[in-house]
Amino acid sequence: MLVFILKRLLSGVITIWFIASATFLAMHAVPGDPLANPKAVSEEIRQNLASRYGLDQPLPKQYLVFMGNLLQGDFGISFTQKNRRVNDIIREHFPVSALLGVLALVIATAGGILWGALTAIYRDKWPDSLIMLLVVISISVPSFVFALLGQLAILKLNSWLGFSLLPVAGWGSLAHMWMPALVLGLGTMAYLTRLMRSSMLEVAAADYLRTARAKGLPGRRIFFRHQLRNAILPVVTVLGPAIAAITTGGFVVELVFAIPGLGRYFVQAVQQLDYTVIMGTTVFYGAFLVFMVLAVDILYGVIDPRIRLVGAGGE
């Protein structure tokens, strides 16, 4: 187990180094001048700026400086958020994205398992058809549409009630979180519902279920003990990537609901060619994804004893 984790960690470090280098090269290959502003500046003012950010150095030197700082865990100072360290940006805004992401994931998982189980129970009946229709809609409609509809729904609800039941946008209390989290988790919920449904149906045909029924176990017990528990496994598998996707993919939701998450900084940095923020957030997200996939692999072995991790040493 330890060897496995160490091996995976090493390959994770290499992956992150590769992500950092590729991003660095791609970023510098993108046309455009990060210091360009609508108002022109004289050559001397430009020089002053360039030397402040180290952009007057040759590219290989800039790369070495960046890698050196990265090893010390320092991403430098943002180009557009003056006087703000990229480390501070990540430290202050990632928890917001993470909190929203976790909440979204809780909703998505709970909803996905419940709806999925429900469709399996009412297979080929109208509840099944209805839910599967909603699933298809949820998967195919982009999240900004749901974000706008969700916001509009709150607005209509508030004006119908005559007082603000839920805030339209903003951040600060749990009341602010629930609609954005629902919108953010919707796609994953739909995906999990579908996964859960097929998984449930597969398990329903399994021998051990027939045995359980033959033993005369009560239906509810068969369902919870045997069918649901076994059917959940594939859902756990996709949770790792899903966590990463949800916590990093909240850009649109953060924008619409005015949430100070990291996703907004990430996308804005790319638009504004804010080199240090692009590098910082990309490397951070890369590391996060690598870590999540590893965590799920380990968790998988814990949940299902049949799975032995490769490289864990002979039994």
Partner 1 sequence: MIKTASIYCRLGFRAWLGLALLGLTLPGLGLIAPQAGAEALDFEARRINLAMSQEPPDLNSITSTDAVSGLVLDHVLQGLMTYNQQRQLVGGVAERWQLRDDGATFWLRPQARWSDGRPVTAADFVFAWQQAVAPGSGSEYAFILFPIRNAQAINRGQMPVTELGVKAIDAHTLEVQLHQPCPYFLDLTAFRTYYPLRSDFYQAQQGKYGAEAANLLFNGPFMLTEWIHGASLKMQKNPHYWDRASIWLEHIDVPYITEDPNAHMNLYRDQKIAMVDGLGSDSLEGALQSRMQIKSFLDGAIFYLEFNHVPGRVTANRHLRKAIQSVLNTDDLVYKVIGSPGTHPAYTIFPRWMQGHRDLFTREYPPSRPVLDAARGRHYMELARQELGLAQLPAINLLADDSPGGQKVTQFLQTLLQQSLGLEVRVDMQIFKQRLAKMSAGDFDLVIAGWGPDYNDLLTYGDLFYSENMNNRGRYNSADYDHWVRVAQASLQPELRMQAFAAMQDLLFEDVIVVPLYERGRTYVQHPRLQGVVRRAIGGDPNFNYARIVAPLDGQP
Residues between 234 and 273 with contacts to partner 1, criterion CB under 8 A: 254-261, 264-265, 268, 271-273
Question: Smaller CB distance to partner 1: residue 9 or 148?
Answer: 148
Question: Smaller CB distance to partner 1: residue 66 or 257?
Answer: 257
# of chain residues touching partner 1 (CB under 8 A): 88
Q: Which 280-309 positions form the footprint of partner 1 (CB under 8 A)?
A: none
Report in angstroms how near the CB of residue 64 gets to partner 1 at its nearest. 23
Report in angstroms how near the CB of residue 82 gets to partner 1 at its nearest. 4
Report in angstroms how near the CB of residue 136 gets to partner 1 at its nearest. 18
* Binding letters toward partner 1, positions 184-223, x by CB under 8 A: -----------------x--xx---xx--x----xxx-xx
Question: Smaller CB distance to partner 1: residue 148 or 295?
Answer: 148
Report in angstroms how near the CB of residue 126 gets to partner 1 at its nearest. 10
User: Of these, 121, 134, 139, 287, which contacts partner 1 (CB under 8 A)?
Assistant: 121
**Residue 175 in contact with partner 1, rule: CB under 8 A:** yes
Question: Smaller CB distance to partner 1: residue 134 or 293?
Answer: 134
Ordered DSSP codes for the chain: -HHHHHHHHHHHHHHHHHHHHHHHHHHHHSSS-TT--SS---HHHHHHHHHHTTTTS-HHHHHHHHHHHHHTT---B-SSSTT-BHHHHHHHHHHHHHHHHHHHHHHHHHHHHHHHHHHHHTTTSHHHHHHHHHHHHHHHS-HHHHHHHHHHHHHHHHHHHTS-SS-SS--SSHHHHHHHHHHHHHHHHHHHHHHHHHHHHHHHTSHHHHHHHHHT--HHHIIIIIIIHHHTHHHHHHHHHHHHHHHHS-HHHHHHTT---HHHHHHHHHHHT-HHHHHHHHHHHHHHHHHHHHHHHHHHHHH-TT---TTS---
Q: Which 1-20 positions form the footprint of partner 1 (CB under 8 A)?
A: none
Closest CA to 23 of 88, 87, 84, 75: 75
| Site stretch for partner 1 (CB under 8 A), options 17-25, 29-37, 65-73, 296-304 | 29-37
**Residue 148 in contact with partner 1, rule: CB under 8 A:** yes
CA atoms of 212 and 225, how far apart (whole Å): 10
Question: Smaller CB distance to partner 1: residue 120 or 290?
Answer: 120
CA atoms of 179 and 292, how far apart (whole Å): 25
**Residue 45 in contact with partner 1, rule: CB under 8 A:** yes
Q: Residue 167 to residues 99, 178, 180: CA-CA distances in angstroms?
A: 18, 10, 11
| Site stretch for partner 1 (CB under 8 A), options 40-48, 282-290, 295-303, 307-315 | 40-48
Give CA angle at 30 (25, 34), nearest 5°.
100
Report in angstroms how near the CB of residue 271 gets to partner 1 at its nearest. 8
| Site stretch for partner 1 (CB under 8 A), options 58-66, 135-143, 178-186, 298-306 | 178-186
**Residue 83 in contact with partner 1, rule: CB under 8 A:** yes
User: Of these, 2, 71, 174, 214, which contacts partner 1 (CB under 8 A)?
Assistant: 174
